[in-house]
Amino acid sequence: MSLPKVRVPYLLLFPGFAFLFTFFILPIVNLAQTSTQTPIAGGDTGEYEQTFAFSNYIQAFVDNKEQFARSFVFATFSTLLALLIAYPLAYAIAFKSGKFKNILLVLVVAPFFTSFLLRTIAWKQILGEEGFVVPGLRSLHIISQQTTLTSTSFAVVAGMTYNFLPFMTLPLYASLERIDPRTIEAAGDLYANGITAFRRVTMPLSLPGVVAGTLLTFIPAAGDYVNAAILGSPTSKMVGNVIESRYFKIVDYPTAAALSFTLMATILVLVTLYIRKVGTEELV
């Protein structure tokens, strides 16, 4: 009763395909259909019909270009900040941590044990008027008495940087850890000083980690709306917030769908350009 060999791989792949079809392909098709609908004349709130109104896309983009721009600016800033913070951290864990390596790795992942929402709300308390940061900075005269930290773009970028930091640290660590220390020693033998050795050996060899880490941070950051909703103000809303409000508050499903597609397409284009530029051969 053995199955013909040819069929086995397909049978094994079937669950995966079925899953992707149900939870990825179908929703995407549904979203695409929704994005070109228009309200039924005289219909009730939330009733739409298919009219292939591709103008929805233009309208949605023009109305919300500010939030679009802000999403990508915030995502870029938090990706760069995360890179600046995570690189030395991953480097230290990979090369200098000795027997503490595993503990440090657990600490990097530890925030995931708590809900993303709770951690972001905790930031609100930390940066709040009666937390320790604001009074501390005020007494040191770093910020004025009137300056607040919550409900600012600063808080949103800080929150995103924090929330996506592990996604940056882990791939960086993985590629740094794989570097053969002898290559760095060899650089020294060839009279390279520390900086040159880092620039010519360690950095290039860790590049796959940088690419993977920046992608894993940038993509979710651009679509994030939780940080802007909890830590931001009406003047620091991102495109994710618009999609949420269009869907749930205004009950304007077509615009929400069109915005989602535009966001996906923009991220796809940016990521493609980025990967073209840095090259993919060395990616993990």
Partner 1 sequence: MATERSLSPEARSILNSQISRRGVLAGAGGLGAAGLLAACGGSSSSGGEDTKTVRWGNWPLYLDFDSDTKKYPTLEKFMTETGLTAKYFEDYNDNDEFFGKVQAQLKLGEDIGYDVVTPTDWMAARWIRLGYTQKFDAANVPNKVNILDSLASPSYDPKRESSLTWQGIMAGFGWNTQKNPKGIRTLDDLFAPQNKGKIVVLTEMRDTLGIILLAQGVDITKVTENQFMNAVDFMAKKISDGWIRGVKGNEYAQDLTSGDATAVIGWSGDMFILASENEGKFDFAIPESGGTISGDNLMIPSTASADGKKNGEALINYYYDPMVAAEVAAYVNYVCPVKGAQAAMEKIAPELVNSEYIFPSDKTSSRLHIFRSLTPDEETKWAEAFQKAQGN
Residues that bind partner 1 (CB under 8 A): 39, 43-46, 67, 124-125, 128-131, 146, 148, 150-151, 233-237, 241-242, 244-252
Q: Are 127 and 235 in contact (CB under 8 A)?
A: no
- List 39's β-bridge partners, or say none: 48
Sole residue written with tokens 């989602």: 260
Tell me whether residue 33 or residue 245 sits nearer to partner 1 (CB atom): 245
Q: Residue written as tokens 């993303």?
A: 116
d(CA 159, CA 152): 11
**Are 184 and 197 in contact, with CB atoms under 8 Å apart?**
yes
48 or 173: CB nearest partner 1: 48
Q: Work out how close the CB of 284 gets to partner 1 at its nearest, in angstroms, rounded to a whole number.
A: 38
Q: Which is nearer to partner 1, 39 or 95 (CB)?
A: 39
CB of 144 to partner 1, least distance (A): 12
232: left (phi over 0), alpha (psi -120 to 50) or beta: beta
Q: Tell me the closest approach of the beta carbon of residue 265 to partner 1, in angstroms.
A: 21
Cβ(165)–Cβ(274) below 8 Å: no
Query: By C-beta, is 78 or 151 nearer to partner 1?
Result: 151
Closest distance to partner 1 from the beta carbon of 279 (Å) = 39
